[in-house]
Structure 1
């Protein structure tokens, strides 16, 4: 996995490694999904998490005590045949990731490709 060029992102990830190793692994795996699909994506710290953008923001990862949330800026538009996305807001939808396995089982790659 490539190391972030953004110093704040690197510090966020390093701190998480020490404070919540499981969420650290989930975030590393989620970043890999993003950069496998969008090698030129930019990332920055905002709202207490990592935001991803191409021409504009498309999503972000946020660590909570018992899970990681991957938020999609326009998730309401996504094809979600298995009803995995959560949220009832006007635009945003998210996946709650509570284990490393859920990065795959909740089809993060499928949704990132729709971003």
Structure 2
């Protein structure tokens, strides 16, 4: 178990439907691979990840999981993975395990961490 994993998030993930739990667990793994000292906590009712500030979050729903970025609008999204029209936040909607693009997601998470570090 990663040292920064939250038991509250573990318990939350256990309550999810199997397909959504698989996607969420996979995305959690990618986040911890992207940064070995990112902190995980339950925030606003969902798993949230921060370093020097809020980096990203996982928002499971009945049919998909959003991998969201608090400062997503500022990320260099060369693969056009991010959705959303808010001032800052963007997300990637994942409906099936096969839609997870580990390397591309990891690169976005690492960029989000660097962006957060520059702002603090």
**TM-score normalised by the chain length of structure 2:** 0.84
Q: Is residue 2:35 matched to residue 1:38?
A: yes
Give yes or no for contact 2:46–2:59 (8 Å, CA) kept in 1: yes
Choose 95-104 or 4-13, whichever is displaced more.
4-13
Give yes or no for contact 2:59–2:65 (8 Å, CA) kept in 1: yes
List gaps (5 residues or longer) in structure 2: 113-120
Match of 2:106 in 1: 109
Choose 89-98 or 41-50, whichever is displaced more.
41-50
Match of 1:22 in 2: 19
Instruction: Give, in angstroms, the shift of residue 106 of structure 1.
Output: 9.1
- CA distance in 1 between partners of 2:103 and 2:81 (Å): 6
**TM-score normalised by the chain length of structure 1:** 0.87
- Structure 1 segments of 4+ aligned residues over 3 angstroms from their partners: 1-5
Match of 2:88 in 1: 91
Give yes or no for contact 2:40–2:50 (8 Å, CA) kept in 1: yes
Instruction: Give, in angstroms, the shift of residue 3 of structure 1.
Output: 7.5
Instruction: Give, in angstroms, the shift of residue 80 of structure 1.
Output: 1.3
- CA distance in 2 between partners of 1:71 and 1:21 (Å): 21
Instruction: Give, in angstroms, the shift of residue 8 of structure 1.
Output: 1.2
